[in-house]
Amino acid sequence: MLNQVVLVGRLEKEIEIVEKGDKKQAIITLAIPRSYKNEEGIYETDFVTCNLWQGIAENTCEYCHKGDLVGIRGRMESNEIEKEDGTKEYKMQVVAEKVTFLSSKSKEINNENARNSEEI
């Protein structure tokens, strides 16, 4: 059996670390644009929830911010949630095993501003 996922997308919001007992966790959402347009000619975006634990969570929180491009290698995990009416629902999410910092949105803006100022 194989359970491996590779994703590349932008962080939807700033990362916050939550302590769960003696472990640290960050839940992030990656915005990943689809590679094709819908009927209206618009590229739709998927939003994927990812769990980061311990050192991966701490490093990502320290070095990455909203809008930054990151790559995630991990595995899919399903969690069973019991609703108020007693029915059960399964929620799929990615558990990150490795996060790669690909680019910083602020650096891209600063580089663009630097290029623009050189042209003037």
**Overall pTM > 0.85:** no
Confidence label for 118 from pLDDT (cuts 50, 70 and 90):
very low
Where do the DSSP E strands lie in 3-60? Answer: 5-11, 17-20, 23-37, 43-53
**Sign of torsion, CA 11 54 58 26?**
positive
At 57, which CATH number? Answer: 2.40.50.140
Question: pLDDT tens digits for 57-102?
Answer: 999 999 999 999 999 999 999 989 888 898 999 989 999 999 999 9
Q: Which domain holds residue 59?
A: 5-119
The tokens for 92 are: 């799929």
Number of domains, the chain: 1
Average pLDDT of the residues in 7-23? 92
